[in-house]
Amino acid sequence: MNQILKKQKLAENIYLMQVKAPDVAKNAKPGQFVMLQIGKKGERIPLSIADYDKNSVTVVFAAVGRTTKELAALKKGNSILHFTGPLGNPTEIMDFGKVCLIGGGFGIAPLYPIAKALKKAGNDVYIIAGARSKNLLFWEDNLKKACKELIITTDDGSKGMKGFVTDALERVMKLNKLDHVFAVGPPLMMKTVADMTKNRVRTVVSLNTIMLDGTGMCGSCRVRIAGEVKFACVDGPDFNAHAVDWDSIINRNKRYHEEEKHACRCGK
């Protein structure tokens, strides 16, 4: 059992949990994820690693589906049955030069360890954090410490630059010759970033596809990259943004919308 050391509401329906998991923490690297299962009858869900230390791993999630709402109802001191990881390949960290990291929604969270590592490697790091409204933003102070410049965008203009992350990216690209772009967030957002940077700058995305086991056995997370079938959990989650078949990913992510409304019958 993995004890919850800290629980915090970061924004509207967005929560942070710090979980005691020393075996996971000692091997964790930026860009990886965990699979967790709250109890014996619950489903397994993937969550990106948002931070880690020697003893614990921090995850950030939006309480939008049945399992994430159950997770959000837990308190400090409660335990999670399974907390498996780190899974997936770490994000490539090297001195690229000028790097722009883009996060949308709760995809802002996994940018933090990546930004810290890239800054330590000598990069000039620019971060664009976008949300529909200011009440969905979080971790601004953390992100500011990890980059040269933080640009906030909101769809409704309630904070920062009014518009989308791609509007801010266009501005950054006009002012700087970027060497590398990394994006994580809703698939449509990442697709739009990929379209904008194609033939202009190397771009990597972290794919948050449907996953059931996180080990490549079930095949639920399969994606097409440059015409080949890959598995996001073991071949990714990071991929060349310009090689991704975005339409197939967007369609596959809609697969279980109806099922998410109903109780899990696992173990019954």
* Per-residue pLDDT tens digits for 25-58: 999 999 999 999 999 888 899 999 999 999 999 9
- CATH topology for 98-252 is Rossmann fold (3.40.50)
Query: What's the pLDDT at 58?
Result: 98
- Supply the pLDDT for residue 218: 78
* Rounded distance between C-alpha atoms, residue 92 and residue 204, angstroms: 10
Q: Boundaries of CATH 2.40.30.10 in the chain?
A: 2-87
> 82-87 and 33-37 as β-strands: parallel, antiparallel, unpaired?
antiparallel
Residue 252 clears pLDDT 90, i.e. is over it: no
pTM exceeds 0.75, yes or no: yes
- Of 82-91, 142-151, 251-260, the range with the lowest mean pLDDT is 251-260
**Mean pLDDT within 212-229:** 84
What is the predicted pLDDT for the residue at 255?
59
The listed CATH number (3.40.50.300, 3.10.105.10, 3.40.50.2300, 2.40.30.10) that belongs to domain 2-87: 2.40.30.10
Give yes or no for residue 177 having a pLDDT over 90. yes
Residue 24 has which token pair? 């996971």
- The segment(s) of the chain belonging to CATH 3.40.50.80 are 98-252
pLDDT at 256 over 90: no
Of all residues in the chain, the percent with pLDDT exceeding 90 is 82
Q: What is the pLDDT of residues 121-150, one digit of tens each?
A: 999 999 999 999 999 999 999 999 999 999
Would you place residue 164 in the very low, low, confident or very high pLDDT band (cuts 50, 70, 90)? very high
